[in-house]
Structure 1
Amino acid sequence: MKILIIGPSWVGDMVMSQSLYITLKNKHPEATIDVMAPAWCKPILDRMPEVNNAIEMPLTHGQFSFFKRRQLGKALREEQYDQAYILPNSAKSALIPFFANIPKRIGWKGESRYGLLNDIRTNKKSFQYMVERYIALAFPKKEMNNSASLGGLDNLAKPCLFIDINKQLQAIKKFNLNQNKPILGLCPGAEFGPSKRWPEEHYAEVANEMINQGYQVCLFGSAKDKIVTDKIKSLVAVTNQQAVYNLAGTTNLIEAVDLLAACQTVVSNDSGLMHVAAAVGCHVIGIYGSTSPKYTPPLASKVDIVSVDIECRPCFKRECPLGHLKCLKDLAPSRVLNKLKDSH
């Protein structure tokens, strides 16, 4: 059986989608799975043993380009795929499998996709977690009524990214990490917006205290997060700053994956890197402001969720509609430090 997956566009969603690939391989061990996804997600796919081939999606997120999608679909006809799973909700994401003449095209009801999909699922809201929604597609429609049909989150296949030990050691040496000290990873950025970002002062307090306890601290993120990570490092006691490694914008995604895997614990906002940290076996302390772990929790074996219980959260807004960001400012660093203390 040959399977084509139209993958998600975001790193965190791509990590969670591995649960579907694992489930499909368990059901069809001889199947080959190809995944079409944006170039920035390709390094993640390269670390998924279930994926045979990562096909780069040449169109940017949001770009419609009907004729280009038709051309891409026609070019894939010679692959003779048996099934396609379309994970994004858009109509445009279903065009390529349609033009590739793939006989069975499976996905959730989204934007006017009748005809483009011929195995369309309509009960998405019956599944609480995004990972359940991905995995449910691997089973016949009649078997999948709700979350209970899958047996609960604990029984589902969890993402598990392969770590290349040699490349990990190369990255540790490249960034001059101390191989004799435990590493605490901090992921203080969030592509979504300010309402997911715990204040820099709080991250700095956690970093300072853990350095005092013998840790080194790695700050992860993209080039966009460098303003945030620079500020965190500047707020750490001057005598401790040599133990802070500001990696935002300096690592590529694969180096970030391997270095996150070297961390004992990772403290993260609700972001793509939080899901990477979960998939490489870290103890994850997930900080939730405007969003909720009731939809996309970190799928690690050891997880602590910290949040404040105020009536306006979760609002799922990019910026605080009330202008006070209490859901993040009032989340004291001591809450995270207590979780770190409990884990050692």
Structure 2
Amino acid sequence: MRILALVPGGIGDQILFFPTLEDLKAKYPKATIDVMVEPRAKPAYRVCPCIHEVLIFNYQDRNGLADYLNVLGMIRDREYDIALNLGQKWTIDLLLWLNSIPLRIGYRSQTSWLVSNPVPLKTKQYASHVAHDLLTSLGVQSSCPPLKIAVPTEDIDWARAEQQRLNLKNNYMLLYNGSSRIPQESKAIYPVEQWRTIIDSFKQKQPNLSVVLLQDSNNLEQTILMQENYPMLKVTRPGDVGKLGAIIAGANSILCTDSDPLQLAVAVGTYTFALFGPTDSTKLLPLGSKRYIGIQSATDKVADIPPEIIMVKMWGS
């Protein structure tokens, strides 16, 4: 049996889909499971061992006929038995229908006649649960598992070496200030000048705590500005998702904006404080857990969260 999951979005969106893949593999342990994702999301599958092949399609582009014919061919060549479409573009449903895939699972919409097993779209819940609802059409009634990833051994070894390089003898806290969304959302970035009060509170509350900036391709400019303004901060630059997950797993806690590192932090169980502006914390963090604290702006801008509110959430006073 061959199964295809079509998953738009970035790395964080893929990680939120991992529990659905986990239960799909449990339902069909001998099945070959492939995913079709955007180019920027492919690196996520370094930490997801249950996937056989990662196919590429840019859901965000203005795709022409040649692009859709290419996808049609990729799907047809692999002769899938089941397809799960997490997107809501009727063009993708049409491609799956044209390929005569027996079980075509998607969310109920005006073009549901293209889907053999439509499922109600319940957006007022945790995003991971929204994806997991698709499995009800396959008879899976279990609750959605928590996020988790499988970090390669070599990435764990890299993280240990990086901790030694940065001289992180005691506990360390990570900071990530950036946006992983396309287009990058300036409203989701916390202003550099507002970090001073927060960083000073770290030195006061936990003077032996090392504070480390996470840098990736999505926050290069922000990291440079943070370094210039706060030279006491250390910087780590993980080269891929596995190394990023490993360095987050070793941290005492992380303070970040809504981003890929946020979902990795949840997946590895690191204490997380996350700043939200244009996105909704209740849809992007597990409900009822004291390990993952969402700090929601009163507006759609993260910049409007006072540093004092962040400190109260972190230190309790």
Corresponding residue for residue 60 of structure 2: 61
CA distance in 1, matches of 2:223, 2:161: 21
SS at match of 2:122: helix
CA distance in 2, matches of 1:117, 1:194: 37
CA distance in 2, matches of 1:245, 1:171: 13
Corresponding residue for residue 302 of structure 1: 291
Q: RMSD between aligned alpha carbons?
A: 3.0
Question: Quick check: 2:8–2:59 contact (8 Å CA) kept in 1?
Answer: no
Q: TM-score, normalised by structure 2?
A: 0.83
CA distance in 2, matches of 1:218, 1:95: 47
Question: CA 1:224–1:21 in 2, change beyond 3 Å: closer, same or farther?
Answer: closer
Question: CA 1:25–1:174 in 2, change beyond 3 Å: closer, same or farther?
Answer: same
Corresponding residue for residue 156 of structure 2: 168
SS at match of 2:175: strand
How many matched pairs?
309
CA distance in 2, matches of 1:196, 1:234: 21
Corresponding residue for residue 40 of structure 2: 40
CA distance in 1, matches of 2:166, 2:11: 25
Corresponding residue for residue 336 of structure 1: 310
Question: Quick check: 1:11–1:41 contact (8 Å CA) kept in 2?
Answer: yes
Shift of 1:126: 6.7
- Does residue 207 (structure 1) correspond to residue 199 (structure 2)? The answer is yes
2:220 maps to which of 209, 220, 226? 226
CA distance in 2, matches of 1:225, 1:255: 17
CA distance in 2, matches of 1:75, 1:328: 44
Question: CA 1:292–1:71 in 2, change beyond 3 Å: closer, same or farther?
Answer: closer
Alignment of 1:1-344 (within 5 A): 1-57=1-57, 59=58, 61-110=60-109, 113-121=111-119, 123-125=120-122, 128-140=125-137, 155-173=143-161, 176-190=165-179, 191=181, 192-210=184-202, 213-236=207-230, 238=231, 241=232, 243-245=233-235, 247=237, 251-297=239-285, 302-308=291-297, 310=298, 313=299, 315=300, 325=301, 328-332=303-307, 334-341=308-315
CA distance in 2, matches of 1:298, 1:259: 21
Question: Equivalent pairs: percent with the same residue?
Answer: 18
CA distance in 2, matches of 1:284, 1:9: 22
SS at match of 1:140: helix
- Amino acid in structure 1 at the alignment position of 2:118: I
Question: CA 1:138–1:206 in 2, change beyond 3 Å: closer, same or farther?
Answer: same
Shift of 1:65: 2.5
CA distance in 2, matches of 1:287, 1:64: 34
Shift of 1:340: 4.1
Question: Quick check: 2:215–2:235 contact (8 Å CA) kept in 1?
Answer: no
Shift of 1:284: 1.1
Shift of 1:41: 1.6
Shift of 1:103: 1.2
Unaligned runs of 5+ in 1: 316-324
Unaligned runs of 5+ in 2: none
SS at match of 1:93: helix
- Amino acid in structure 1 at the alignment position of 2:224: D
Question: Quick check: 2:105–2:137 contact (8 Å CA) kept in 1?
Answer: no
